[in-house]
Amino acid sequence: MTIIQAADDQMLSVSHQYVGQRGPLHATSTGKILLAHADQDEFDRLVERGLDSFTGMTMTDPEVLRSELETIRHRSWASAVAEWEQGINALAVPVRGKDGQVAAALSITGPSFRLPESRFAELAETLKREARTLEVRMGYFGG
The domain spanning residue 6 has which CATH number? 3.30.450.40
Residue 114 lies in a domain: yes
pTM exceeding 0.75: yes
Residues lower than pLDDT 70 in the chain: 1-19, 143
pLDDT at 141: 87
pLDDT at 3: 40
pLDDT at 11: 52
pLDDT at 143: 64
Residue 142 lies in a domain: no
Q: Domain range spanning residue 109?
A: 2-15+22-137
Picking from 25, 79, 81, 90, the residue whose alpha carbon sits closest to that of residue 57 is 81
Write the CB contacts of 98 (distance below 8 Å, at least 6 apart in sequence): 138, 139, 140
pLDDT at 47: 96
Going by the DSSP 8-state scheme, the letter that residue 38 receives in this structure is: S
CA dist., res. 50 & res. 62, Å (int): 9
Going by the DSSP 8-state scheme, the letter that residue 69 receives in this structure is: H
pLDDT at 12: 53
Residue 61 lies in a domain: yes
